[in-house]
Amino acid sequence: MIGPTKRHEHKDCRRLLGSISEYVDGELSEELCSMLEQHLADCEDCRIVVDTMKKTVYLYHATAEDEFIPSDIRQRLFEKLDIEEYLEK
Amino acid sequence: MKDQENKVEAEGFSLKALQAGDPAEFSRLVDTYSNKIYHLAIKMLNQQQDAEDVLQETFLKAYRGLKTFDGRSKISTWLFRIATNEALMILRRKHPDFLSIDEPVETEDGEQEPVQIVDWCCLPENELLSEESRERLDAAVQKLPESLKVVFLLRDINDLSTRETGEVLDLSDTAVKTRLSRARLRLREELSAYFGERVNMMRASQPNRLSEAPDKAQKNEVLRSKGEAKK
């Protein structure tokens, strides 16, 4: 059992690091998934890495959702493409 | 071309109308994807004028290319591919030392070990998505090397699947997954450095607010970092 004060340096962490991203996407193979979850049960550091990676991905998703194209850029695009009559709808 | 096939592949657009040059259908396509393409370009190039050029060039090329578009990939994937290539061309022109995104990064030591072990998930949403935080999120993306950045933008910002991202960039699924993993690890690291400080500040001013369990609140060493000298 790895206590919470132990530094992030044991070799399972290193070995499983590359699987975390796929785990976050729910795309990890069953075998690797259960291996990683077993490890997470004992390793607080890796749990923090998983949670903060999930949150990182979530934050980028959230910010991407409220990005809009500036209206002058949209207008020039429609003009350039010769479809400005469709600009209003 | 079979109509049924067109419906499926053209994501709600009539490929027939698009290929016949129907301006109403084409403007619908432009309206659906211009926002995403503009933001992909601005994040790749970090410059508004260049991003606008990419946006215009993408749809000009799409308009001309639609006649021969074979519907083998999704229309959105095809548009992202045109846009990505346009943006990469500008990057190469402006930075002759620019590393090709084909550069293999699937090497053993490409993974950076996490240094920032800070649980900042407890920060309130309005803090995580504040104006300042958003600037940090953008700045962290700008720090990524091109080969990781473009994969991250397509997968996590534009929601393309692994296979679609591979189609846009001519990369294998494994290469896409490896690059996405590295990009996310680096971004997580950057954000942890920033949000970790916010957690520290909050703890200092409101020691009990961030923790439900009272015994946990006393454990200030939840915030740990190997980069002690790190500014």
pLDDT digits (tens, 9 = 90+) for A17-43: 999 999 999 999 999 999 999 999 999
Rounded to a whole number of angstroms, the distance from the CA of B26 to the nearest CA of chain A is 8
User: Quick one: closest CA in B to A19, which residue?
Assistant: B181
Task: Identify which of B117, B134, B188 has the shortest CB distance to residue A8.
Answer: B117
| A79 is a domain residue | yes
pLDDT score for B2: 46
> Which chain B residues are closer than 8 Å to A83 by Cβ?
23, 26-27, 30
CB B179 within 8 A of CB A20: no
| A4 is a domain residue | no
| β B116-117/B224-225 pair status | antiparallel
Q: How far apart are CA B87 and CA B118, in angstroms?
A: 35
Q: How far apart are CA B203 and CA B132, in angstroms?
A: 19
**Residues B56, A74: C-beta atoms closer than 8 Å:** no
> Which chain B residues are closer than 8 Å to A69 by Cβ?
34-35, 38-39
> Domains in chain A: how many in total?
1
B2: left (phi over 0), alpha (psi -120 to 50) or beta: beta
Q: Count of CB contacts below 8 A, A vs B? A: 120
pLDDT along chain B (231 residues), means of 10: 48 91 95 96 95 98 93 92 96 77 55 85 93 96 94 96 96 96 96 94 74 43 41 34
ipTM computed for the complex: 0.88
| A86 interface with B at CB cutoff 8 Å | yes
Task: Identify which of A56, A68, A74 has the shortest CB distance to residue B188.
Answer: A56
Can you list the domains of chain B with their CATH numbers? Answer: 3-94 (1.10.1740.10), 112-225 (1.10.10.10)
Beta bridge partners of residue B58, listed in sequence order? none
| A15 interface with B at CB cutoff 8 Å | no
Question: Which two three-digit tokens encode residue B111?
Answer: 């993974």
Which of these, A50, A56, A55, A44, lies nearest to A8 by C-alpha position? A44
The string of pLDDT tens digits covering residues A44-72 is 999 999 999 999 999 999 999 888 999 99
